[in-house]
Structure 1
Amino acid sequence: MLQSPPNDLDAFWMPFTDNRYFKANPRLLASARGMYYQTPEGREILDGTAGLWCVNAGHGRESIVEAIREQAGRLDFAPTFQLGHPLAFQLAARVGGMMPGDLDRVFFANSGSEAVDTALKIALAYHRVRGEGTRTRLIGRERGYHGTGFGGIAVGGIGPNRRTFGPGLPGSDHLPHTHDLARNAFTRGQAAHGAHLADALEGLVALHGGDTIAAVIVEPMAGSTGVLVPPIGYLERLREICTKHGILLIFDEVITAFGRIGAATAAERLGVTPDIITMAKGITNAAVPMGAVACRRGIYDAVTGAMAQAAGIELFHGYTYSAHPLACAAALATLDLYRDEALFERSRGLEAYWEAAVHGLAEGRHVIDIRNMGLVAGIEMAPREGAPGARGMEVFRRLFDTGLLVRATGDIIALSPPLIVEEAQIDTMVAALAGVLAETV
């Protein structure tokens, strides 16, 4: 059934949006099923971004819908402060069982931003209870995105966030990013050049003192700042340096977890095990907001064991909606879908076709680089003189108007379709992008 456009557009202050432009030129989504959105007018929009990197199993999956509906009728809400409900423990065990190594202790939040702030707090608490309270410094990376909480902004490396809201937590610092157009343009998968950039962490240790650094947080593959794929050996080197200096290594896998690069986690796929992993997005197929943090058993034991001689709260942290019953039900149904339809394996099986298709755009107008990993691709265009980002936004809007949803981050077009995508739909995405690029000045 077609829906009329709303007449109260001004009431909603939209996130990460040019509100004035949007409300003069609204582009609305009214329903979704499988690989497609529908507009209020009934036009189909092929989803090339899994919503916002999150609808990994496709839209409107009935088993997830039914799980939410049934749970809402049984237990709509339960507090998890000094109480619990069964699904929270079932889900924690399922998620923990999918993590690498012994990262099987799971704390639930409601978003990626909250998961990041939780992970940073856990790292600080871990060092403090071990008598290393001087470890308060947190290290992020340039062009890193770790959500919009003040902790995430502090370790993040996105200029507008920091210019608008300040540096966030004091004492944070940053590694250089790994993007190197001169040496690595049009690389397929991981680039050969760039592992040495991890050695900048040794410089920060020398500058600040290793005994002041609590954790390093990086995205294994940075998504929101333009699909920055880790160079071969880079993450391994970070792991080595962190271990050497007693620094916790956190992987922000809000985007990469749950099949996006062909495995439950990027840590598993890339063979590098951090101490803490943050997750969100695909954990519930985006049907209900949820975030999660998985940490090594030894970290959990250290924090909870510190209170063994005295009753009390070990980690003074949490959220009203931690492990919300509806989110837990959605997550359990989502994990069942991933397993029953072998979607992680399906994602990996499509990688070669995906890679060849997106790199077919290498001769496209304005294209200066293409990067890919798993079912993700970043197509970077040269910016217009004096107007960085304008070309990317124009391409985003024109593609939507022709029936394809992509993600524009500056002058980079990101593609990350649901894992149920078919080869013919990949071809449609690439053809649509090629056509719009050819017509874009």
Structure 2
Amino acid sequence: MSATRTILDGPALWSAQAHIPSVLGRQLVIERGEGSYLHTTDGRRLFDGTAGLWHANIGHAHPALAEAAHVQMLKLETYHIFARFVNDQALGLAERLAGLSPVDDPKVILNSGGSDAIDVACKLARRHWQREGLPSKTMILSREHAYHGLHAYGTSIAGLDFNREGYGTESLVPETARVPVHDADALAGTIASIGAENIAAFVTEPIQGTGGVNPPGPGYLESVQQLCRQHDILLILDEVITGFGRTGTMFAAERFGLEPDLVTFAKGVTSGYAPLGGVLVAPKIWQPFYIDDVDTPIFRHGATYSGHATACAVAMANLDVLEQDNLLQRVAELELLLDGLLKQLQARRPSVREVRVGGLLGGVTLTDDIPAESAADALIELGFISRPLRGNTLQLSPPFITTDDELIQFLDAIDHVLSAKEAE
């Protein structure tokens, strides 16, 4: 009874994505950040090997972003962008994003984060086909192992089954289906089975993150794009993780030569300094909503904090840092180093089943006898943060400002942990 009372008397905060009884009493309370490092209330200094949740690209506590927020809040914290109203920071950021976009001549929808962006993109895909007079095109396809946030649509298209379980139906939004992760032929088969006339869009991460860091096989994304074009299916590229430099280009679409219809973004647009996300929208989708005609429809999107002025000002400062410090080139350099280090690790350690790299994204899949969660816990004791992902995989996605020595030390720590666990 006392153990139960201890659990029920825990902190008021309900931690996210947590089996609560497993984390209470051993939570790490972060109180300060500095570059690539975090400091806890119990005196630990930890290398942030995951850049938070894939987002702390320029590191923590950057003064330029703090100054941008301070200056903007003293002028205007925010004002909504509904109907006739708009604020200057939202206008400025949208123009800048349009100039960086892998979509030619886009419009930019701004909101509060990646889950918001996925909800808007999937709704807009369906709205597009309804307006086009094709009412049966409602299905949204996605891939197994995919993660697209945890709003209703993100939950529904998740390729991680545990994120869809427990809500009474197989999918919160019924018009959804999943296809195998790297198989363009299977996608073609699914399109044939469901019927292209019933499919609104295909959603995919260029490189799957939470699903285990899964880069695409050669030609896979190009084949997917061709299938979508062939069957009048919108291609939605989820660049919430990969956008703003994580793959060595501003967007992964550039790296893989893709021309998506919709691109969702978040995380790296502010490096996590403010909650902001959005959707880049191709002309064939936005233009009908802009025609000055009595029958011009309205797309009912928007939230209180869409185009939040302070978040937009922070995003502009973040983009300045990426450009001024040449951090995209730095990602390309770190990718080569990470790839070499992971291959060496795999050659040394029999507990490493597979390693995968795409940009500054790495995954180390372990053999079943060494749980990734226990390895991540052991790394904490050595001063390094990793995270267990699907498939018994360790996540490596440090900030872009990581030095060569820090990355080497991170891999040495993983090697040390695995060596010790193999000995056990």
TM-score normalised by length of structure 2: 0.93
In the alignment, which residue of structure 2 is the partner of 1:433? 414
In the alignment, which residue of structure 2 is the partner of 1:341? 325
Separation in 2, partners of 1:103, 1:33? 38
1:304–1:314 contact (8 Å) kept in structure 2: no
Separation in 1, partners of 2:158, 2:301? 21
Aligned AA (1:45): L
In the alignment, which residue of structure 1 is the partner of 2:120? 118
Q: Structure 1: which 5+ residue stretches go unaligned?
A: 1-7, 179-196, 385-389
In the alignment, which residue of structure 2 is the partner of 1:369? 354
In the alignment, which residue of structure 2 is the partner of 1:177? 181
Alignment of 1:167-246 (within 5 A): 167-178=171-182, 197-246=183-232
The alpha-carbon deviation at position 103 of structure 1 amounts to 5.3
Aligned AA (2:294): Q
TM-superposition CA deviations, 1:222-248 (whole Å, max 9, x none): 001110110000000000010001110
Separation in 1, partners of 2:94, 2:181? 33
In the alignment, which residue of structure 2 is the partner of 1:72? 73
The alpha-carbon deviation at position 203 of structure 1 amounts to 1.3
SS of 1:405's equivalent? coil
The alpha-carbon deviation at position 283 of structure 1 amounts to 0.5
Q: Structure 2: which 5+ residue stretches go unaligned?
A: 1-8
SS of 2:345's equivalent? coil
In the alignment, which residue of structure 2 is the partner of 1:382? 367
1:103–1:275 contact (8 Å) kept in structure 2: no
2:49–2:385 contact (8 Å) kept in structure 1: yes
User: Which of 280, 288, 308 lines up with 1:294 in the alignment?
Assistant: 280
1:54–1:255 contact (8 Å) kept in structure 2: yes
1:130–1:302 contact (8 Å) kept in structure 2: no
1:96–1:104 contact (8 Å) kept in structure 2: yes
The alpha-carbon deviation at position 292 of structure 1 amounts to 1.0
Range 15-24 or range 323-332, more displaced: 15-24
SS of 1:370's equivalent? strand
Range 57-66 or range 358-367, more displaced: 358-367
The alpha-carbon deviation at position 375 of structure 1 amounts to 0.9
The alpha-carbon deviation at position 52 of structure 1 amounts to 1.1
SS of 2:30's equivalent? coil
TM-superposition CA deviations, 1:316-369 (whole Å, max 9, x none): 121111011111011010011111111111111222112111222103242100
Establish whether residue 328 from structure 1 lines up as the match of residue 312 from structure 2. yes
SS of 2:11's equivalent? helix
Separation in 1, partners of 2:256, 2:224? 13
1:106–1:294 contact (8 Å) kept in structure 2: yes
Separation in 2, partners of 1:309, 1:345? 49
Separation in 2, partners of 1:218, 1:29? 32
Separation in 1, partners of 2:228, 2:165? 29
In the alignment, which residue of structure 2 is the partner of 1:182? none
1:125–1:303 contact (8 Å) kept in structure 2: no
The alpha-carbon deviation at position 174 of structure 1 amounts to 1.1
1:351–1:374 contact (8 Å) kept in structure 2: yes
Separation in 2, partners of 1:206, 1:101? 28
Separation in 2, partners of 1:81, 1:202? 40
Aligned AA (2:420): E
Alignment of 1:40-55 (within 5 A): 40-55=41-56
SS of 2:164's equivalent? helix
Separation in 1, partners of 2:158, 2:293? 35
Aligned AA (1:69): H
In the alignment, which residue of structure 1 is the partner of 2:393? 412
The alpha-carbon deviation at position 201 of structure 1 amounts to 2.1
SS of 1:164's equivalent? coil
Indicate how the Cα distance of structure 1 residues 110 and 101 shifts in structure 2: closer, same or farther if over 3 A, else same: closer
In the alignment, which residue of structure 2 is the partner of 1:88? 90
2:157–2:176 contact (8 Å) kept in structure 1: yes
TM-score normalised by length of structure 1: 0.90
Range 240-249 or range 9-18, more displaced: 9-18
1:229–1:371 contact (8 Å) kept in structure 2: yes
TM-superposition CA deviations, 1:279-318 (whole Å, max 9, x none): 110111101111110011221102333x72247x611121
Separation in 1, partners of 2:237, 2:368? 31
Residues matched between the structures, number = 409
2:56–2:271 contact (8 Å) kept in structure 1: yes
Separation in 1, partners of 2:324, 2:106? 22
Establish whether residue 391 from structure 1 lines up as the match of residue 371 from structure 2. yes
Structure 1 segments (4+ residues) deviating >3 Å = none
The alpha-carbon deviation at position 20 of structure 1 amounts to 1.8
Separation in 1, partners of 2:408, 2:31? 25
Q: What is the percentage of aligned positions where both structures have the same residue? A: 33
The alpha-carbon deviation at position 57 of structure 1 amounts to 0.7
The alpha-carbon deviation at position 22 of structure 1 amounts to 1.9
Establish whether residue 356 from structure 1 lines up as the match of residue 357 from structure 2. no
Aligned AA (2:128): Y
Indicate how the Cα distance of structure 1 residues 142 and 103 shifts in structure 2: closer, same or farther if over 3 A, else same: farther
Establish whether residue 424 from structure 1 lines up as the match of residue 378 from structure 2. no
In the alignment, which residue of structure 2 is the partner of 1:189? none
Aligned AA (2:356): R
Separation in 2, partners of 1:287, 1:261? 20
The alpha-carbon deviation at position 72 of structure 1 amounts to 1.2
